[in-house]
Structure 1
Amino acid sequence: MCEPSVFEDLKTKYQQLQVECEQVNQHLHDYRRQIKIAQTLEAEYQEEIRLLQSQGTLEAQKLKEKVHQLEESIVELKSSHNERIENLEKELAKKEEEIDGLKKELKDVEKLSQSQNPESDSKLLDQISKLEQLNFDLNEKLCELEQSLESSEQKNATLQETSRLQRQELAEANILLENLKDENLAIKSQLDMVTSKPLDDKSQGNSLFAEVDDRRVQLQQNMNTMKSQYLEMKRERASYLKQIRALRNENVELMAKMEAEIKGRQEDEEMISETYKNQINALNELIASYQKERESCNLNLKDVPPSASGMMKYFDNMLAMKNKEMEDLRQLLSSASLNTITQRHNLIEAQREIRKNNLEILQLKNEIGQLNMKIEEMQMVSPTEKTPEIKQIEEIKNVNKTNKENEGDKNVQFSEDTLDPKVTDRKKLRKNAKTFVLQSIHYD
């Protein structure tokens, strides 16, 4: 009777051992599947890290190239400004030489006027005073040109300051890229630690899965923070690029306005110098003709005999009439020349007002552009103050982002399904892990 009972006990123990063996095999199969899932996740994370590193290196190269281009443009601007300053200095030297020549001519005219009649001397003195006034006006023009040179130098200094600020911004962007690289390396080291860390002796049966799951959540959070930092840096870079484009456009407009202003001033100065030259030539011709008439009159007086007193009176009257006609013509000529000079001065003043208005318009445009950029930055920083159109665009972007994340979850689920057709999502994995823990506690 003992043998059948012993046999039954052995049979039951054998069946229990078979059941336990099947359960252990099932758990081993689950562990292998979880290890494969962790390996696939690790490969995906490594691929994402590699893509981020390649993007960071490309961005750094692009920023370095832009810095090099900005330095070249600064060198070109410096050379062009120096050339313009040299040209203006040469023009100033020429104007000073012209002024010296005019002074010499005035001295010659004064010397000639000393040998003439007092009435003609007074008229010539009046004309000389007018010429001195014109000379004074020319000196004022020279002072204005010097002020324009100083303003151009100040503009050059402001451009250099803006280029220095742009370099600092690019350096900060490069530092952000380096920090992202360091974070990528830290995440990679964490992945290596997760894959190479042994099991704890005091851990339960599903400690590896729980640790991998926790590490996966932590790595996902790190990846999300890195993505948000990358997007923030990308947004800042876009704003910096927009500022650089605005500064370049402003620089081009300023250069064009400066060239137009310099050209207009040169034309105005040439116009004034031509009027002065024409007036001086007319005065010289009048002086020469007056001297010739006096010499001819003196010669005629020497040749006339003393008996011809009636003829002398007649000729004196004729000379007085002719002198009066000449004086009238001179007055008409001086009034006409003064009218032309005043008209040209008025034209120059009008052109100056036009240039000032153009500069004010340009400054207003620049202020409007800066305000628009500030509004865009405020809209980037505070989403509550954004316009409905921008909110709609951001909602569309968020929908696209959620769709991409859902597609990523589907891809992960597909990879899990390929490993084990019984497990459809991560909730089932967690449920299986809990049942395995309960079974292990029961067996213990």
Structure 2
Amino acid sequence: MEYDSDEFEKIKTENVTLKQDLENLNQQLHECKKNVRLLQAVQIECQNEIDLLQSEEIKQKQKYQEIIKQLEQNIHSMRASHNEEKLAFENVITKMEEKNERMQLELEVFKESDSNTTNFVGDTSLLIKEILYEPPEVYENQELKKTLTQLQEANEILQKKVEAYEAEIEDLKECYACAKNDLKEANITNQFLNDEVCGLKTEIDTIKNQPLNQGSKGNSLFAEVDDRRVYLQDKIDKMKASYVAKTQENAQLKHTAHQLQLENMRLLEKWKSDVEEKDDDQHGIIVALKSRVDTLEKIIEKYKKELSEKPIVISSNSFEELEYYSLTLNEKNKELQALKEEMNSKSLQRFMLSSELRESNEEKRKWRLEAMSKQHELELLKKELSKETEGGNTKPVEKREKLSFITLARKEGSRSSAESKKEIVCENKLEDSVKRLTLTERSPEIHGTSLDLSDEQKVFYVLFSYLYNFVILCCRIPHL
């Protein structure tokens, strides 16, 4: 019993200690909860501050962007004003230069008439005006000379344009002659086809009226009718198969002709856009030169007005003043010469930039056309490969047609007035060789070769040559 009481007291003391520990832990938990609430409140405040700072940052960013835009506009306006000041400075330089030249002329005149200046009596301004100022006829003569030079330059430009137009007219005449020859050849082939059709009709009539073959089944009427029916059925089947093949080939050729017409229209539009770009480049150069001429003319008119409004007055002690003026004028001449050189260098740089831009645009157009021709060649080669993989070997006449199409694409890519004539001659030679080959295929017995061709094969070769000439004609007509 004593053991149980001692153990009970131990448990009791442990229970008391555990209660105390529990109270301590509860107090610590309560404090931790308070701290958590405080930290959450602090977190909310910090998040609000972060949001405010972000909004302020966005507003500042927008303000800075607006300031940057305003600064860019100011820079643009300052550049424009700087260019205007530069033009005004150039105008002042030209005025000072002309005034300097005028004063040099006056100095020379005064030096020549220095010995006679002391003998003048009364007002000498009229005499000096008569000596210095040229009569209005001289000014009119100078203006007429300037207009004459301008008209001569314009005449030269127009002559160059006329020569270019004449060269284009010659090229168009050659193309017209080629198209005319092609039309004549097409008419000849049409007549040949009509003759072939008539011959085929006569052959069909003769075949219908032919007697029976010797290898018939018998001499009875039923055997003859059966042989005739079998023969005609085989003939009809062969003709149907050949007709289907020819219609398919005709559809393919029409499709290729349509694609070539579309390609030709696209190349024509590209050529027109290139011509418009060239005209724009030339117009930019002409505008730059015209602006320079206009500024010079304005400066000349202002100088003439100043000369007409300001009379010259010279005192009695003019020689010493003239020496002083000569020294100052020499210094000003040097400064004006330096400024003139700077202005000429800047104007040359501007003109060279415009000319280089025109040349770069021309090179870009050439490379673009060459790339288009190469792309067209690649498409043709892909079509050839696809046809070879799908269904056997292509025919030699189709290969010759594709070669002629490739030469046409190359001629459209890099076309010039001198090279186009050579390419047309080469193409005519190639077409003549193709026509000779087609003629040999039409009439093989002429050249001493005995080819065993059937009637259907002859008709096929004739139809294909006619379609080939028609496709070439469609490709050439849009160039007119």
TM-score normalised by structure 2 residue count: 0.39
TM-score normalized by the length of structure 1: 0.42
| Higher RCO (CA 8 Å, separation ≥ 6 residues) | 2
Structure (1 or 2) with the greater helix fraction: 1
